[in-house]
Structure 1
Amino acid sequence: MGELLLCNESIAAMPFYLEGVSINVYSIEELDYYIMNNTFLLDKSFMSRELCAWIENQAKLPKLAGNLRMIISTNGRLSAFVDEILRNTGYCSASERKQIHDTLSDLEEKSTFECSKLRADRLMENEKYLSSIFEYNKLLASEEAKTADSVVCGNIYNNLATAYARLFLFETAAGLYKKAYTLNKNRKSLWSCLYAYKCMDDDTHFKKIVNEYGVSDDEITSLENVLNGFYSADADSKTDEQLKQLNDLQANDKAAYSEKISDIILRYKEDYRSHVF
């Protein structure tokens, strides 16, 4: 789960697999932790008899499992189901429980389309880009999307494009930003499209978009100023210093150099994995 959790209840011999986020939980405390940190990702599918069976047989909490089955059998609400888990395990405070309950209650008053967009947006905020891409695509393929406001759909395409851009898939992102702009008419989406082409050094498509949508010289200047800001003197200075340190190690301490390079590669791998899994 990424953090050390003190578990007072039983540790399961078999974990419960949370399919939507590809996570195994081994204790009721880990389940509570997941609920607290992923409230917006919860939906009716979380209220499963499989989870009840795991709580009874693996977490060794038969009374809680019985209460949860009763909520399911009486067509109870997700907010009540989740609150029952949190209330019986005492993992979080009363105020935290209330906040989670209120959040879920609010989601229960929204349409499926609105809830799905909130979940996708939250995945983006948490830098789970691959999961957010899956959710945005599912959202755009839904029946509700066919009748949704064009601005809303445009904003979804914009966020989908951003998820691809964060994974350095700039060509795909550029096309989606363009699609977003045709729907939401938000100049920021068009600018993002141009940013994506600049990141690919694709001047041909950059100029095509500029001509097709009448991007002014002032807009281009502003865009270039923003891009130049990404390459500040401080950032360049820091990078130069890191490269100098690596060069010194390579010349004087091969073992330390190899270890440093391995650490850098590992950090990049961990950072990438955190965004896609």
Structure 2
Amino acid sequence: MSGLILCRTREAENPYYISNMDLKIYSLEELCYYIYNNIYLIGIDLVDNKLVAFIRYEIKEAELADKLDYFIREKAGLAEIVITILKYVDYYNLSEIEELREILLTLDTQNVLERLKARADGFLENRCYFSAMKNYSNIINSDKDNTLPGIFYAKVYHNMGVSYANLYLFKQSIEYFNEAYKIGQHEESLKCRMVAEKLALGNEFKDTNDSNEDSEEVYVLNREIETLMDNASYSEEYKELEHINSLKNDGLVSESYKAIDVVLEEWKKQYTKFTT
């Protein structure tokens, strides 16, 4: 979370932790900011007894906690809960709240699978890959909705493959890219599948082209993939690893170990976020 937020309510000593975003909330204003800027990620599970307890005992806002307790008992809708929180805190003006209400009403007109995809897409955009995968998986494992176009399911399978690939699970991603291409026939899914195969199989990869894919198209994609792989050596990440290797080769072993520790710590932070 970035930017300056002026808090009119109490700041908590012990924050409320939103695990799927790796985010700590210390005030109601921060909670409103999170809701407003992540509306597609939020589900009815946002408000539970844990959040109510945080508002009651850490923020000391019993009135809002009582309202949320009532909503939980009465199984109120997401729009009613969100608007109540935003109006109570008065961090956003009425026009901004009404704009958000319209978005929530639009979400309410979508069926369950469309809402799941909107939420999964939001997690994917925020690089919360495991959370994205859980939502895409719910769509894939649900009964097919024949009212939804094929492109809907093609995008779900493609994005599932993207999520797996970003977790370096390339073999698992192949089947999803393949299914996405079968349904949607989009070049991007074919390209991603070919890259995943190369990364997963390494020296064992053999481009047999035993499918119905156009050979000229596959040839062009292969050349494009090779160019991308060649250009990878110019990336900042690659240069950083080269620098570490040069430190070691120059006999600066201690400095190289320190640099490795910095890189590993950053990778750990990233992977923790990816898998929450």
Q: Normalising to structure 2: TM-score of the pair?
A: 0.81
Q: Which residue does 1:78 correspond to in 2?
A: 78
CA contact (8 A) 2:244 2:260 kept: no
Letter in 1 for 2:32: D
What are the superposed Cα offsets for residues 85-132 of structure 1, whole Å, 9 maximum, x if unpaired? 122223345554344322222111211111111101111111111111
Matches for 1:86-105 after TM superposition, within 5 Å: 86-105=86-105
Length-normalised TM-score, structure 1: 0.81
Q: For the residues of structure 1 that align with 2:126 and 2:69, how far apart are their CA atoms? A: 32
Matches within 5 A, 1:31-70: 31-48=31-48, 51-69=51-69
Change (3 A) 1:66 1:238: closer
Question: For structure 2, which runs of at least 5 residues remain unmatched after alignment?
Answer: none
1:9 matches 2:9: yes
- Superposition map of 1:137-148 within 5 A: 137-145=137-145, 148=148
Secondary structure of 1:127's match?
A: coil
Identify the residue that residue 273 of structure 2 maps to in structure 1.
274
CA contact (8 A) 1:145 1:153 kept: no
After alignment, is 33-42 or 117-126 more displaced?
33-42
Give 3-state SS (helix, strand or coil) of 2:168's partner.
Answer: coil
Give the alignment of 1:91-240 within 5 angstroms: 91-145=91-145, 148-202=148-202, 206-208=206-208, 210-232=209-231, 235=234, 239=238
Distance across 2 between alignment mates of 1:213 and 1:240: 40
Pair 1:138–1:3, CA change in 2 (3 A) = farther
Please tell me the root mean square deviation across aligned C-alpha atoms, in Å.
Answer: 3.4
**Preserved CA contact (<8 Å) 1:121 1:132:** yes
Q: Which amino acid aligns with 2:227?
A: N
What is the deviation of 1:198?
1.8
Contact 1:139 1:145 in 2 (8 A): no
Percent identity of paired positions between Structure 1 and Structure 2: 24
Conserved? CA contact 2:22–2:273, under 8 Å? no
| Aligned amino acid, residue 152 of structure 1 | F
SS in 2 for 1:268: helix
Question: Higher RCO, 1 or 2 (CA under 8 Å, sep at least 6)?
Answer: 2
How many residues were matched structurally?
276
- Corresponding residue of 1:258: 257
In the alignment, residue 242 of structure 2 is paired with which amino acid? L
Q: Which amino acid aligns with 1:211?
A: D
Instruction: Give the distance between the partners of 2:240 and 2:263, measured in 1 at CA.
Output: 15
Change (3 A) 1:206 1:161: farther
